[in-house]
Structure 1
Amino acid sequence: MKKSKTIFTKPENSRRSFIKNAAMVSAGIMIVPRHVLGGKGYVAPSDKLNIAAIGAGGKGNGDIKEFSKSPNVNIVALCDVDDRRSAETRKLHPDAKYYKDFRKMLEAEKNNIDACSISTPDNLHAIATMAAMQLGKHVYTQKPLAHDIFEARALAEAAGRYKVITQMGNQGGSSDGVRQAHEMIDAGLIGDVHTVQVWTNRPVWPQGLPTPTGNFPVPAELDWDLWQGPAKTVDYNPAYLPFSWRGYNAYGTGALGDMACHMMDPVFRILPIDFPTEVECSIPKSWTLDGKEAKYPDGFPPASVIHLKYPRKDGKGDISVSWYDGGLMPPLPDELVDGDRFGGSDGGALFIGDKGKMIVDCYGEDPRLLPTKLMKETTMPKQTIARVPEGHYLQWVNACIAGYGKGKTSSPFEYAGPFAESILIGNLAIRSWNLESKKANGKAAFLGRKKLLWNAKEMRITNFEEANQFVKREYRAGWSLGI
């Protein structure tokens, strides 16, 4: 598809110049006379960054509210397959044109929009994002960026090819905490990190359940066919909506997809790693009310443990990263004293180096050495990494206004793509476990569980061919990634 030109492609373009000046006005720097702007901070609607939202309910509604905090943003189009979920957003933005099919919206609005926010179930992230980028539109895509490894790699490569500003929606990537933690590790306060343990309280939705069945009428406000996107067509079932789709692999990416982009961001952002070479998992048995072992062939388990091995890019050996969800947790460190928090309410991450340990909460917040008394006894390093006072959302807005090559974001796809791959390979291990369990016919499948060997360059598991079916999924007719 030929890439459409955007308002940011020509330096002399007056619209780009105007909104760049408007951004500086909102920061308190007056370049354009106030009488021209109509008052301090005023920006004419026609000179704002025009955003279209693909996904206007739920998290999409929250994202739109965050973007709208900037005086330089104009929400010009909304798209959602469920009129019920999008009702509040449409009320807040009555002048925005409303669509149900994002493909029709992009075609109709391609000359009116500059950027897109994508907040849909995970299985539509990559397709909607790629379609917007191919039109030269900047994109803000919710985590975990993509549904499978192939899609994550494709989006990372496309961002540079289409020269657009990108941001994955892991807002902790712009937090002060993760930057402080980065400075502490860079300063050598815990030495070279060799092990990281990460845990979360997710899932907080029903997970580890049989595939939903039953015959239910489709609500009049919902386009069920569009909601399913590229997934295989199934009968409508209210068990999937509005949030529990996360637990089914046709639409979601489980606890890893929901929270690992938050919990593991400090790991991937701080340490000298990119792609893992090994992954393995273990899944505890779960039981139904009548005492039978629960089966979840089309979904994710209620709890899991994932182990990843990363070669350090500085040549100093490997880093082991372990993920725990569903109430499973790593051992408490000996340096944790009574009264100390082991992470935050949503989970945390423990960095173990050859000279000490450091713990952070969700989003990398509140980094602290263990034992915590060291925080008073140790001289903290000076700030070396720039903070993001405007936050994750408006950082993207301002970067779009600055233009490609000038505007910077915390989680551009060049970073978020490889990061998402690391998360999604954990789900590949989970689904491979299910394959092994079927082969074992319930006879101690864990005895034959595999350590999967990953060739990142070729995007292949090299020692268990059946696992490679999960690297790239098949889309149903009518849906394509467009590459």
Structure 2
Amino acid sequence: MNRRTFLATPAVAAAAATEAVAANDKIGVALIGCGGMGRSDLADFQKQPEVEIRALCDVYRPNAETAAKMLTGKADLYNDYRRILERKDVDAVVVATPDHWHPLIAIQACEAGKDVYVEKPISHNVREGRLMVEAARRHKRVMQVGIQQRSGAHFQRAVAAVKEGRIGKVHFAQCWNHGFSASNKGMGHPEDAPVPEGLDWDLWLGPAPKIPYNPARRNFRAFWDYAGGELTNWCVHLIDIVHWALEVDTPLTVTSSGGKWFYDDCRDCADTQEVIWEYPGNLLVRYSTLVHNSFGPNGHPGNKSFGSYGIMLQGTKGTLFIDRAGYEIIPQMEMHSEKVTQGSREAYDDLNGLGQFFTGLTMAERATTSFQHQPHVRNFVDCLKSREKPVGDIEIGHHSTATCLIGNIALRTGEKLQWDGAKEQFKNSAKANEMLRREYRKPWTLAGL
């Protein structure tokens, strides 16, 4: 069998099992994609007492070897993920590859009877994401998305406060990633180069278009062929909390402005971007990303490793700010006037307003950080045994990813797009609908795409 042939043989299909993992069995886990995020996943999966890491896979051999050094036991090393899917002793896979590989690996893992923990964004395009949901349901697989903030206690507490009405009716939410780069050189414009030893470049590309090796391309989030910039990198995490807290998941319209305005390098994706979504219930949601200035909408100067980032929900009774470090509820202040005071004109001219006082419409609250990633992994492992849906189920991850993907489509088309969430297509743009899927490079195929 050609190593790039679609793995869908009767033998593999027959190996698919839907039974729950017995409580006293070891759960065989394989990591596919051993870069930085993959190794973070590996660290927390190893902490689960019933988990045994049985295989590691990466198209760049040094990545797999680095991950192997983290293991408390031994695991087999591969460069082709399909060899892992053939193994009957692997119950679940962690997919931490570049974004463009997530759908095919996850779907084939479901077909091979494996449960899946897949990093966000779940897909390169909207149609792939829907096919992932369908595969998980059709094969009765547990598929957890790496939207680990849902497992953080302070995120859960803050979301509960919003749902209880503590900040009132929310009509505006904003998320942002604002950073500062002292230089606009970025990745530069490197020439194509020989493929490094230990890297299978053709397999790294997979279903993406065939191009010569270039070192800049391994910064995959900056190129449309593999990802979608900060909008699909960070905003998926942020918009997911907006969806969760406000109980929405499908916008009505989207528009976006920006582009590659700061960096003078070879990237495709925007370094300066704003996206506006309109949701049912008169809700406006905004996302912005900057690299030339780190000051945030919440007034933070951005003197943190991530710069300024976070989520603000602005309601009729108060505002919630939340990020991974904690949250704060700031009451909306309501103005009152003493019975005997200056007239409104004089008070206005005084700027301070003599005889006026302000009271809060809700109670202030503040919380610090909580563990997020490890309990998210724990939730996945528990669901492998219970067969319940995890807190970051694939359907949830699909909606949060798709919302960001259509933001980039709005940017690239320059149109205000009307979104039909039920059909997952645009109502007003044939050009935009063409960008909801893409053709795979042969011989890679994905049924339904």
Q: What is the TM-score with the length of structure 1 in the denominator?
A: 0.76
Matched, 1:239 2:216: yes
1:153 aligns with 2:115: no
**Structure 2 residue 407 is the aligned partner of structure 1 residue 426:** yes
Query: Separation in 1 of the partners of 2:212 and 2:129?
Result: 28
Amino acid corresponding to residue 106 of structure 1 in structure 2: L
Deviations 1:239-286 (A, max 9, x none): 123xx2110011122101211122222101111212111110111662
| Corresponding residue for residue 348 of structure 2 | none
Are 1:208 and 1:299, in contact at CA under 8 Å, matched by a contact in 2?
no
Distance of 2:231 and 2:153 partners within structure 1: 23
CA distance in structure 2 between the aligned counterparts of 1:98 and 1:205, rounded to whole angstroms: 40
Contact 1:428 1:467 in 2 (8 A): yes
Q: Is the 8 A contact 1:159 1:414 kept in 2?
A: no
State which of 361, 368, 376 in structure 1 corresponds to 2:329: 368
Equivalent position of 1:463 in the other structure: 428
Deviations 1:302-336 (A, max 9, x none): 1100001111xxxxx22111000024789847xx7
Q: How far apart, in 2, do the equivalents of 1:358 and 1:258 lie? A: 23
Structure 2 partner of 1:436: none
User: Corresponding residue for 1:257?
Assistant: 232
Instruction: Give the distance between the partners of 1:202 and 1:341, measured in 2 at CA.
Output: 9
**Gapped runs of 5+ residues in structure 1?**
11-15, 23-46, 289-293, 312-316, 382-386, 434-449
8 Å contact from structure 2 (residues 187, 216) kept in 1: no
TM-score, normalised to structure 2's length?
0.81
Of 154-163 and 76-85, deviating more is 154-163
Superposed CA offset, 1:411-447 (max 9, x none): 01121111211111112122223xxxxxxxxxxxxxx
* Structure 2: runs of 5+ lacking an equivalent: 1-7, 334-357
Structure-1 residue corresponding to 2:345: none
2:383 alignment partner, one of 387, 399, 404: 399
Contact 1:7/1:114 (<8 A) preserved: no
The aligned residue for residue 413 of structure 1 is: 394
| Other structure's SS at 2:220 match | helix
- The aligned amino acid for 2:220 is W
> Percent identity among equivalent residues?
29
| Cα distance in 2, alignment partners of residues 178 and 160 from structure 1 | 28
Matched, 1:99 2:78: yes
* 8 A Cα contact 2:150 2:372, kept in partner: no
SS across alignment from 1:76:
strand
Alignment of 1:121 with 2:90, yes or no, is no
Correspondence 1:132 to 2:93:
no
Equivalent residue number for residue 354 of structure 2: none
In 1, distance between residues paired with 2:301 and 2:74? 53
Taking structure 1 as reference, are residues 78 and 390 closer, same or farther at Cα in structure 2, changes over 3 Å only?
Answer: closer
Q: Which residue of 2 aligns with 1:378?
A: 363
In structure 2, C-alpha distance between the alignment counterparts of 1:295 and 1:468, rounded to whole Å: 29
Can you list the C-alpha shifts for 1:355-396, whole angstroms capped at 9, x where unaligned? 222211248x32422479999982879xxxxx9896111211
**Distance (Å, rounded) in 2 between the aligned partners of 1:69 and 1:205:** 39
Q: Is the 8 A contact 1:194 1:320 kept in 2?
A: yes
2:377 partner SS: helix
Question: Does residue 1:9 correspond to 2:19, yes or no?
Answer: yes
Structure 2 distance, partners of 1:66, 1:206, is 35
Counterpart of 1:301?
Answer: 270
Equivalent residue of 1:417, what SS?
helix
Task: Tell whether the 8 Å contact from 2:121 to 2:236 is kept in structure 1 after alignment.
Answer: yes
Q: Residue 262 of structure 1: SS of its match in structure 2?
A: helix
- Equivalent in the alignment of 2:250: 275
Q: Residues 70 and 394 of structure 1 are in contact (CA less than 8 Å); yes or no, is this contact kept in structure 2?
A: yes
Counterpart of 1:479 in structure 2 is 444
In structure 2, distance between residues paired with 1:99 and 1:160: 28
2:320 is matched with: 358
SS in 2 for 1:89: helix
For residues 320 and 185 of structure 1, do their structure 2 counterparts lie closer, same or farther at Cα, with a shift above 3 Å needed? same
1:42 maps to: none
- Count of matched residue pairs: 408
Task: Label 1:224 to 1:453 Cα distance change in 2 as closer, same or farther (>3 A).
Answer: same
Q: 1:339 to 1:259 in 2, by over 3 A?
A: closer
Question: Aligned with 1:283: secondary structure?
Answer: strand
Q: Which residue of 2 aligns with 1:451?
A: 416
SS at match of 2:166: coil
Asked whether the 8 Å contact 1:52–1:78 carries over to 2, the reply is yes
**CA shift for structure 1 position 95:** 2.7
Within 5 Å, which residues of 2 pair with 1:280-359?
280-283=255-258, 286=261, 299-311=268-280, 317-327=281-291, 332=297, 345-359=307-321
CA contact (8 A) 1:140 1:168 kept: yes
Note the C-alpha offset of 1:7.
6.0
